[in-house]
Amino acid sequence: MSDDRKDEPPPYFPMVKDGSAMARHYFERRAALSSTTGVFGPPLPLSALASTASITVSSLIIPEKTTTEGILVRSTSAIWSEIVQKLGSDWNLAFQLTPDQWEELIAGAFHKEGYEVTKTPRSGDHGRDVIAIKHGFGCVKILGSVKAYKPDHLVEYDAVRALVGVVTADQKASKGIITTTSDFPPLMENDPGIAPFLPTRLELVDGKRLQQWLNELRNKSA
């Protein structure tokens, strides 16, 4: 997983019943901090909510258990749906989310599609941020790579070639999918090291298509 905000601490939300209020508060607070300081500051203290259970916004997925490859996803949280809803109307909010949050959004999306999903650790993931397996007839194993980039930061050729290498090395992998908040270079699909794998062994999902996919998943479960 790569992005442009590596040193930014994760924000926090109080665990309350109104998930939309949490998401709204998060984006409004980050926007206010950005406009006054130019950077996003640390999360607000939760001392006033000490009697209420709290979670980080990165808790967009609810874990089942830890496996040798990472965290097995049991379901998505209410915050996942609320953030996806806001992203559907304003994609600029995509660039306010942290790398962890994007990995969990994508893991949750695959879970919504009916896959058994594992979110890998931030380090030692061998280029895989998400592992999604659909069992039964037509069983497939997808290796997902998530790139949380700013609009002017295109996904690098080397990042795509690296995932091709990982998919090729994993004999059980059906295909690799790279999702990004940004875009890919316009001629990437013609690259001789990439083109032969498209679209059955490799799929490139840009910000526009990612927004559409998340919207469709949310509408399905509404």
Domains of the chain: 2-221 (3.40.1350.10)
Helix, strand, coil tally for the chain in percent (to 5): 40, 20, 40
pLDDT one-digit tens code per residue, 125-150:
678 999 999 999 999 999 999 999 99
Planar angle of CA 216, 22, 28, nearest 5 degrees:
95
* Predicted local confidence at residue 51, as pLDDT: 27
Strands 116-119 and 54-56, sheet pairing: unpaired
Q: What is the C-alpha to C-alpha distance for residues 111 and 75, in angstroms, rounded to an integer?
A: 7
pLDDT one-digit tens code per residue, 64-86:
999 999 999 999 999 999 999 99
Local confidence pLDDT in tens for the 222 residues of the chain: 655 544 444 444 433 344 555 555 555 555 554 444 444 444 333 232 222 223 333 689 999 999 999 999 999 999 999 999 999 999 999 999 999 999 999 999 999 999 999 999 977 667 899 999 999 999 999 999 999 999 999 999 999 999 999 999 999 999 999 999 999 999 999 999 999 999 999 999 999 999 999 999 988 877
Full-prediction pTM beyond 0.75? Answer: yes
Instruction: Give me the sign of the Cα torsion angle 80, 81, 84, 90.
Output: negative
Q: What is the C-alpha to C-alpha distance for residues 222 and 201, in angstroms, rounded to an integer?
A: 31
DSSP string, 159-179: HHHHHHHHHHH-TT--EEEEE
What are the start-end ranges of the H helices in the chain?
19-37, 78-89, 99-112, 157-169, 207-221
Q: What is the C-alpha to C-alpha distance for residues 12 and 39, in angstroms, rounded to an integer?
A: 17
- Does the N-terminal peptide bond of residue 11 adopt cis geometry, omega within 30 degrees of 0? no
- For 186, half-sphere exposure in the C-beta direction (CA atoms, 13 angstrom radius) is 0
Select from 82, 138, 126 the least CA-distant residue to 108: 82
Q: What is the C-alpha to C-alpha distance for residues 155 and 181, in angstroms, rounded to an integer?
A: 10
Q: What is the C-alpha to C-alpha distance for residues 126 and 163, in angstroms, rounded to an integer?
A: 9
